[in-house]
Amino acid sequence: MSPDAAGSGAGPVDLAAALRTAATVLAAAGVPSPRADAELLAAHLLGVSRGRVRALAITGADAPAGLEDLVGERARRIPLQHLTGNASFRTVELAVGPGVFVPRPETESVVQVALDRLRAAGLSTPRVADLGTGSGAIAAAVAAEVPGAIVVAVERSELALAWAQRNLAGTGVELVAGDFRSALAGREGTFDVVITNPPYVPPDAVPVDPEVAEHDPPEALYGGERGGLEHPAAAAVAAAAALRPGGFLVMEHAEQQGPGVERILAQAGFTGIAGHPDLTGRRRATSGVLPGGRTPEATPTTSNGETRA
């Protein structure tokens, strides 16, 4: 930012000008949404909404102190959520920071697949497991949107557990520390739905975005051998053990991994396997049903098995 920008000690700076300068700096650094990030950083410092920041900029308000410093950090590709300390996910706000995977918009679509299934089943107290909860995003969203749900979240990373404990406090979600391969031992055949966003990035595929490659914990990213499908395969087996007959699994994965995830779900004993798109139309999730029990009416699908948007 310019020498007279907010945070330089040169006196008040017009908010509109500071936002323009910040957006230019962030764009030059390759930040994908420079103007939005500039406004969100200002909103964080002012303690107001992004819409309020826009209104203040129009009225000639001063930029908040410290904006230049935060913009500089963001230009270094520190994740926006690490700088503000929070991330929005569906209807919940989450505390996030170093040591935990920052929840992504595509995972919101995965949760929607599970919620649609729960509503079709019409259960008054559905039992839902979130395998590899990370920040607690999926579990918190289900608890908030499905009154009466009994939600269990599993996480093995000590750092992620600390964030999940903070985010799930007071939600009624049971947080279990441990590897999802074994953490639900003794509860076999008791869950109606399992949702999982396991690590699935192939070991030789380093993410392009510095925010992901340099700041998301590697254990939350890389899916191990078999082209990144080692951990998803383990999650499928764990889900098959946890679900009751007729229970439902939905798993997030990379766009190109759809056929591979179909195979591992079939190997784990699931039927009715279908793909599901995210909001951009890319196939980012696959679901399956454990045989037996009453099955709710299926979501309409296209001829290639993908759910219609």
Alpha-carbon distance 77 to 32, whole Å? 10
- Number of domains into which the chain is organized: 2
Annotation-wise, does 198 bind a ligand?
Answer: yes
Claim to verify: residue 29 and residue 172 sit in the same structural domain = no
Residues whose CB falls within 8 Å of the CB of residue 13, separated by 6 or more in sequence, listed in order:
4, 5, 6, 62, 63
Residue 133, annotated as binding a ligand: yes
Question: Quick one: which of 150, 131, 134 has its CA closest to 142?
Answer: 150
Q: Do residues 65 and 172 share a domain?
A: no
Residues 64 and 105 in one domain: no
Annotated binding residue 134: yes
The pTM (predicted TM-score) of the whole model is: 0.86
Same domain? For 33 and 161 the reply is no
Task: Assess whether 69 and 118 both reside in one domain.
Answer: no
Structure tokens at 228: 């990144």
Average pLDDT over residues 79-102: 95
pLDDT per position as a tens digit, 17-41: 999 999 999 999 999 999 999 999 9
* Residue among 33, 39, 49 nearest 15 (CA): 39
Q: What is the mean pLDDT of the chain?
A: 90
* Same-domain check for residues 236 and 151: yes
Q: Is the pLDDT of residue 141 over 70?
A: yes
- Phi, psi of 169, rounded to the nearest 5 degrees: -60, 130
Token pair of 296, please? 């709710």
Q: Which amino acid is at 281?
A: G
Tell me the C-alpha distance between 170 and 150, whole Å: 13
Catalytic residues: 101, 197-198
| Pair 53, 104 in one domain | no
pLDDT tens-digit series, residues 157-207:
999 999 999 999 999 999 999 999 999 999 999 999 999 999 999 988 888
The CATH number of residue 245's host domain is 3.40.50.150
Domain, as residue range, for 196: 99-289
Same domain, 70 and 103: no
The pLDDT value recorded for residue 221 is 87
DSSP bridge partners of 243: 191
Q: Is 153 left (phi over 0), alpha (psi -120 to 50) or beta?
A: beta
Is 135 annotated for ligand binding? yes
